[in-house]
Amino acid sequence: DPVLELSGIEKSYNPGTPGEVSVLRGVNLALAPGEVVALVAPSGAGKSTLLHIAGLLDVPDAGRVRLAGQEMQGSAQTARTLARRDMIGFIYQFHHLLPEFSAQENVELPQLAAGVPRGEARSRAAELLGLVGVGARANHRPAELSGGEQQRVAFCRALANAPKLLLADEPTGNLDPETSDTVFDVLMGLVRSTGMSALIATHNMALAERMDRAVRLDAGSLEQV
């Protein structure tokens, strides 16, 4: 089964009003296990809307969302919440780390919420932070870390529960170009070493070329780039 399968996804905002915006008009996409796909879209094309629907944070007006073969469209809110927690990791342009907790704690928290025992959460967090090169900064709070370090910690948090699917919205978009390249390498290393599938939105065609393939969101549907 594909890890993520979107078929015939349609989405409008403010339907039936003069302010109606038809954003997605029949989006189809299947991500094979381990496949890493770039989502390229001009600003306002509906990239965030699409990622929110794929991540079960929003519901489409029409179409189907399947995660690992499981039909999510029309399933109960609790089932969607559980599927999101167990199967999906999110990374945003800005890290959204909890400011009052250390890097280590930020990576432990999603595991504790998922019922992982404390000792296990602690060692997995330390291992992940080591892998991305911020092991020595584990006890610092986000404000004490550089932008690149903060984003690395956010990657660890997103991968803490070993999701099958990573959804990333401009994951290095707020970093300077040089840092962005390095941090993107770190992300790709993590994704490849776990074998997860990923849909990664980016404006950067050089980054898109380092993924398995790219799709462009244009006029409400996806085309291969």
Q: Which of 14, 17, 77, 78 binds ligand ADP (CB under 6 A)?
A: 14
Give the number of other Cβ atoms within 10 Å of residue 10's Cβ.
17
Residue 124 touches ligand ADP, criterion: CB under 6 A: no
* C-alpha–C-alpha distance, residues 184 and 165, integer Å: 17
Nearer of residues 14 and 224 to ligand ADP, judged by Cβ: 14
Task: Quickly list DSSP for 120-174.
Answer: HHHHHHHHHHHHTT-GGGTTS-GGGS-HHHHHHHHHHHHHTT--SEEEEESTTTT
Per-residue mark of binding to ligand ADP, 29-48 (x: CB under 6 A): ------------x-xxxxxx
Q: Which of 39, 49, 97, 137 binds ligand ADP (CB under 6 A)?
A: 49
What sign has the CA pseudo-torsion 157, 6, 171, 187?
positive
* C-alpha–C-alpha distance, residues 23 and 40, integer Å: 15
Give the number of other Cβ atoms within 10 Å of residue 96's Cβ.
14
Distances (CA, A) of 35 to 7, 105, 176, 211: 18, 30, 27, 8
Nearer of residues 92 and 155 to ligand ADP, judged by Cβ: 92
Q: Which of 1, 8, 21, 98 binds ligand ADP (CB under 6 A)?
A: 21
**CB of 118 vs ligand ADP, minimal distance in Å:** 32
Nearer of residues 57 and 79 to ligand ADP, judged by Cβ: 57
Residue 20 touches ligand ADP, criterion: CB under 6 A: no
**CB of 143 vs ligand ADP, minimal distance in Å:** 21
Q: How many residues bind ligand ADP (CB under 6 A)?
A: 12
Element (H, E) at 192: helix 177-194
Residue 13 touches ligand ADP, criterion: CB under 6 A: yes
**CB of 122 vs ligand ADP, minimal distance in Å:** 31
- Cα 60 from chain centroid (whole Å): 18
Nearer of residues 48 and 102 to ligand ADP, judged by Cβ: 48
Q: Which residues bind ligand ADP (CB under 6 A)?
A: 13-14, 21, 23, 41, 43-49
